């Protein structure tokens, strides 16, 4: 299962590099959430219950807004 990695650093400098860096960071964040959703959706309802989740929690987990 993918996990949200909050340790990535974004190097900010002037001009276009910053915009490119922000775009790549947004794409990376989107892809991490996509992989997390895909992995959790592949689990059975029983497996989700074993880790304390239900199907309705998947989007919140993927977006990083779910709190146990």
Does residue 60 belong to any structural domain of this protein? yes
> Residue 64: inside a domain, yes or no?
yes
Classify residue 31 by burial, with Cβ atoms within 10 Å: 0-12, 13-18, 19+: exposed
Helix, strand, coil shares of the chain, percent, nearest 5, are 60, 0, 40
Domain membership of residue 56 (yes or no) is: yes
| Structural domain includes residue 3 | no
Within-domain flag for 40: yes
Range of the domain at 37: 33-68
Q: Is residue 66 part of a domain?
A: yes
pLDDT score at 11: 58
The confidence score (pLDDT) of residue 1 equals 55
What's the pLDDT tens digit per position in 1-42?
556 666 666 555 566 789 899 999 999 999 999 999 999 999
pLDDT tens-digit profile of 44-53?
999 999 999 9
Number of domains in the chain: 1
- What is the pLDDT at residue 12? 54
What is the value of pTM for the model shown?
A: 0.70
């Amino acid at each position: 299962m993918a996990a949200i990695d909050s340790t990535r650093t974004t190097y900010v400098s002037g001009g276009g590099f910053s915009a490119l860096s922000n775009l790549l960071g947004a794409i990376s964040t989107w892809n991490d959430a996509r992989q997390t959703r895909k992995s959790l959706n592949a689990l059975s309802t029983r497996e989700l219950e074993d880790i304390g989740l239900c199907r309705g929690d998947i989007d919140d987990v993927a977006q990083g807004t779910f709190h146990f």
